[in-house]
A and B are shown apart, each in its own frame.
Chain A
């Protein structure tokens, strides 16, 4: 039998306790156990950024963290930050500027963008580009994404 650890975390404001296989990464847990399928799996080796989520307020790659490591942590996903409306301005700007096409990278891209929005009052386009350089988008030319984040940060 696979070894499990009883783990408790607060996901999008709700406390959950589960016996989690030690080797399961956090985004698999969110998707498979909790049905939070908004965090996507693009590479499972920490490069593409599609699984970017927030743990205790810091953005992390959901595929590079084991679910059991989130014991006692606060985990926020695209679903939670959409319902709380924290991402509302970014989502509106992304929509209006067509800063997404297939939408697969978008939840991770929004999480990364919100990290910059929270940290900075102003940012140059180069800084915005650098900040989202850990998130693959294969559809857009990144320009509309930069435009949208630019609008939210710099007004």
Chain B
């Protein structure tokens, strides 16, 4: 036979015969009376009206009373708490009468001194030889540990539910904070500019990621207005911090010196000083100045680009062309970069469109491998040339919506237009030029 360490011996030998040990053990349990009195459960017998006729010592000890105080003097329901008594009368007793037995009902008994003890109660009806009910026999099991365990489970569950509620509240608060921060990165409304129509749109790729695109329009002096639009590398809080720094630096720089190259250079100095080294942060941007001429209805535009895709000009005559700004460098990576300038004049009905590369880099085609691209944008612009900025932006929003999941980046759009107005234009089509 194998040596079995740490296990109880078999109650019987391998041949099925009683071992001498088991035979001896049986002698220890030869008294049914003693087993009844000291069993690890309460025994209770009552008449059919509930009057207690017999109960064991275990139950007496739980109740904390003398036998004489109970037998013949109390009913089973007298031993129960008020709630238990009610449950007994509405459920327990009717079921027992109907079925002749009932088991595992959780009730509480009253102990001397006022304490309550949870028990699991089972009862059977004992019938006489002619089938008439004689007695109810009841066992009561101590359910204190079980109750404690259940209460612990409930407590844990409540704690988990509370944690979930807290997490949801935190999440909502965080989203509110993100929305507030996002709004601080963009103007809530564009200012009224005399002699200029404006419209903008911001497409957020992900609601819980702060985007890195930005734009703004603001007054420089009585005649000139500044505008900018750009794209900070990366996403999330760190990118948003750069976006915020960029927006307010450009605003402040323009008030100091509205020259587009000077404004971008100031921004470059700030970003380069702040973010040079192992974690480079930079942006692409177009910064420009518009000056509407109230007499002619024309708007002169002077802008500079730092690594940003070229602006698109939609002419009232139905044509559309890029305003090229090649060679301008990303803002923030070199101490003294070159920015490329360009100027144009918007005649009444002309619109200047600035955009971020979310638009031109949107993936198109059935397999989402082709890019929307510059030429498609130019053609789209020609299709909407002559419309005011609001209508152009509306059309572009429709275009963005059409990209579906092919548009996976934030996209900012800003359109500035010379109002078509009633005044007939006698001037020739203004020329566009760019310098490096």
Bound pair: A and B? Answer: no
Chain B residues near A (Cβ < 8 Å): none
Chain A residues near B (Cβ < 8 Å): none
